[in-house]
Amino acid sequence: MQPRPLSNDALAFETLAIHAGQSPDPTTGAVMTPIYQTSTYAQTSMGEAVYDYARTINPTRSALQDCLAALEGGRYGLSFASGMAAIDTILRLLKPGDHVLASNDVYGGTFRIFTRVYEQYGLQFSFVEMGDLNAVRAALRANMRMVWIETPTNPLLKVADIAAIAELLSSHVGRPLLVVDNTFATPYLQQPLKLGADIVTHSVTKYLGGHSDVVGGAVVLNDEAAYNRLKFLQNAVGAVPGPLDCFLVLRGVKTLPLRMERHCANAMRIAHFLESHPAVQRVIYPGLPSHPGHAIAARQMRGFGGMISFVVKGGPEAARRVAEHTRIFALAESLGGVESLIEVPAAMTHMSVAGSPLEVDAALIRLSVGVEHVDDLIADLERALSLISI
């Protein structure tokens, strides 16, 4: 008996995370998508085959792409070898002379590829406070072809009103593409396409994979013409993930709703703890009423995420001391895994923005709050913060 295909219509997110794009294998009935570890496929006749070469198409990758599209509420999904490969492919939709308006707080790697790679090919970039609609409106240009948002941003956790920006762009000449990097929020907490975005991108290395054991990227969209162009670029440029990587992300996505609930709950507890600690100067977390984007985040997100940034008293040396003396929080870059991580962005993930208008306060610490018991995490931070002299 052939497995019955599953319709995504009216299914809840939790069900889609487990089943979307992942019908039981028709040959064996395996409920987990097989790892099709092959580079080429036998053809019944020349040029007539669903599968021909693995850079172009792979069944494991197709399952992941269909799953991620369903989770974002999109029609089309594409997977890449890294989040940066996904960003690179999106930028290839543009041509010399085109302008990109971006958040004034973006991931260091995003800033680097914008300013140190694509500017030399004639693309123009400027950066603005996306939480200020008047500033966004004032920054619009006639040659603008793309607006790039992170929300929440990395590492300052700024929040942008996706629907309001989409509405603003709808009347601008040429209707620039609205791209949202949804890595921090994940599709479980936020679905930008439903708020008016044109393209959503992810580093699936982070929450979607969820276990710090895979590197990958993704793009999800609804427009068929843009999808066909991006699919062509995916094949032509070739930055595709291997089948094992795709399998690992598919496995991780199955528990995404469960993990995100715990990430959010733990982060909220820790944010309140930090806000009351005498060694902490400022806490940045969208779930706190003190966050300037709290109301927008509450409106467009299901929860407030697992990322927290905070500034300690005592400056950069104090931040270093705290980051180097936690025991459960591992001193490491990246984020979104089940284990908790701590870093100082100015000296680690965001060194590439040093000396630019996007430079990060050297006393800022970023936490990726994991799913361990929250009491243990708070005790770990309490011990490390006690090393600061105030």
Q: Which positions are catalytic?
A: 55, 107, 181, 206
216: CB partners within 8 A, 6+ apart: 79, 80, 81, 82, 83, 203, 204, 205, 208, 209, 241, 245, 246, 249
Which amino acid, residue 364?
Answer: L
CB 117 within 8 A of CB 146: no
119: CB partners within 8 A, 6+ apart: 125
> What's the rounded Cα separation, in Å, for the pair 322 and 382?
10
At 277, is the secondary structure helix, strand, or coil?
A: coil
DSSP state of 53: B
CB 259 within 8 A of CB 207: yes
By C-alpha distance, which of 75, 31, 58, 32 is closest to 248? 32
Strand order, beta sheet including 217-221? 76-80, 217-221, 199-203, 177-181, 144-150, 99-103, 124-128
Residue 269: CB atoms within 10 Å: 15
CB 369 within 8 A of CB 267: yes
> What's the rounded Cα separation, in Å, for the pair 197 and 193?
5
DSSP state of 114: I
| Ramachandran quadrant class, 192 (left: phi over 0; alpha: psi -120 to 50; beta: rest) | alpha
Strands (E), 186-277: 199-203, 217-221
R_g (Cα) of the chain, nearest Å: 21
Strand 99-103, strand 144-150: pairing: parallel
CB 80 within 8 A of CB 203: no
